[in-house]
Amino acid sequence: MKRTIAIVVAVMAVVVISLGAWRRLQIRSATNSADYETVPVRRDTILAAVNAPGSVRPKEQVTLTFPSGGTLAELHVQPGQQVKAGEALARLDIRQLELNVVQADATLKINEARLAQTKAGTQPADLASAEASVASAEALYNAAKNKLGLQSEQLSIAEADLKKAELTLLDAQAAYDRVASRPDIGMLPQALALERATIDYQRALANYKLQVAAVDDTSFKSAAAQLAQAQAQLEKLRQAPLAEELAIAEAQVEQARASLEQAKLRLADAALVAPFSGTVVSTGAKVGELVSAATPMIVLADLEHYYIDVTIDETDIGHIQIGQDAVITLDAFPEVTLQGKVTSLDPVGKSTQGVVSFGAEIRVLATDVPLRPGMTATADITVARKEGVLVVPNRAIRRDSGGRYYVEILSAGEVKQRLVTTGASNELVTEIVNGLSEEEEVVVSAPRSNLMEELGRSPFQLGGGR
């Protein structure tokens, strides 16, 4: 019984296969060339393009942080809010910072007054008061000396030397004062003479003090000490300010001014303002919270203008130039195409796992599509435009074992191969530079050769279903 069934099945299979083969032969004999899909060679405009993947980014995006930490006192915005350039966004507690500005300003004024006083020198009233003090001290000194009856020869010599040194110092000071306004005063002989006279006076004063110390009388020593002190104060007032003293006073003023500017800068940095008009993407703290310099306080982005950052292979970068047009497609909106323009190219490539690529920026032209930063995009950058050239579909282009390009021509019911020279191409068509004429028919699809496909699906397909 089983053997009989197997024989019947085999006979049926042979019959079906025979019928299919007979049908195919009948079709081929009737319409040998009808199964070839052909298209005529035509003239058209071809746009050669470089395909580059990338992602969407806003024209500008910045993360605003405070330069120093503090307590957040004010927050004027929230995510999604539109702001304009220069608009206040947030501020720290500034009470201590304002106090620092007041203190720095006071310090600057004090140092400026000291500098002015140093430049002005001794006032006439102060000099007159110092001279009166010296005269009074001399009277007391002479009275004490006469009362003691001292006529020591060494003390007299010391007094004479001191007086002489004082007169020399006065002359040197007067000569110095006459040229003190010159910028090269330190290089003039008057400056050297004043320095020597000052040293001689100090030496004579020291010797005089030694002689006075040798006298065994308390009241006399006291009067001599008072006179020396009054004379030293008078000489100090008589001397013009040295260049070093002026330099120190000026440096103190500059230091105080810098401290004031620093205090003002810290006060200004306690407030965040929008550097450009845009949309607040996020905020990093709430009012009353402590924030540090590392806290991303506000993320601001310009969501009105978008760019596509794309990556271009090094084999294509030579065709890319700033200003070229681009057609942009998005994974999020595959049915929509956007127009763009290349605005910048990276001058240096990046190597990733041995593959070198270059970055490029494409500006997205006006669009109503709701773009979002980070969307995946693909840009076809137009690198060449040729008008009125012969083109054929890419499906018609074939390559032989020698690497030569050819097409198949259908003529008088026969298919023949013909070598061609290709030019520019895109994803759809290829330019034919040589080898074809307009209106010739090129084959883009050959007849199906699978017999089982001719027969359609049947329970007897090889490797078929259950």
**How confident is the model over 22-78, as pLDDT tens digits?**
455 444 444 455 578 889 999 999 888 888 999 999 989 999 999 999 999 999 999
**Lowest-pLDDT range, 96-105, 214-223, 280-289?**
214-223
pLDDT band at 385 (very low <50, low <70, confident <90, very high): confident
pLDDT at 436: 93
CATH topology of domain 61-93+270-300: OB fold (Dihydrolipoamide Acetyltransferase, E2P) (2.40.50)
pLDDT at 447: 65
pLDDT at 29: 42
pLDDT band at 323 (very low <50, low <70, confident <90, very high): very high
Average pLDDT over residues 148-168: 76
pLDDT at 194: 87
Q: Tens digit of pLDDT for each residue in 213-255?
A: 766 567 777 888 888 888 787 777 666 566 677 788 889 999 9
Q: What percent of the chain has pLDDT over 70?
A: 83
Supply the CATH classification number for the domain 51-58+302-386: 2.40.30.170
Mean pLDDT, all residues of the chain: 83
Phi, psi angle pair for 216, to nearest 5°: -95, 70
Q: Which of 107, 116, 110, 109 is nearest to 246 (CA)?
A: 116
Which of 144-150's residues contact partners 24+ apart within 8 Å by CB, and which partners? 144/217, 144/219, 144/220, 144/222, 144/223, 144/224, 145/220, 145/223, 147/219, 148/215, 148/217, 148/220, 150/215, 150/220
- The span from the CA of 384 to the CA of 386, in Å, is 7
pLDDT at 192: 87
pLDDT at 28: 47
pLDDT at 326: 93
Average pLDDT over residues 117-121: 71
Is it the case that residue 119 has pLDDT exceeding 80?
Answer: no
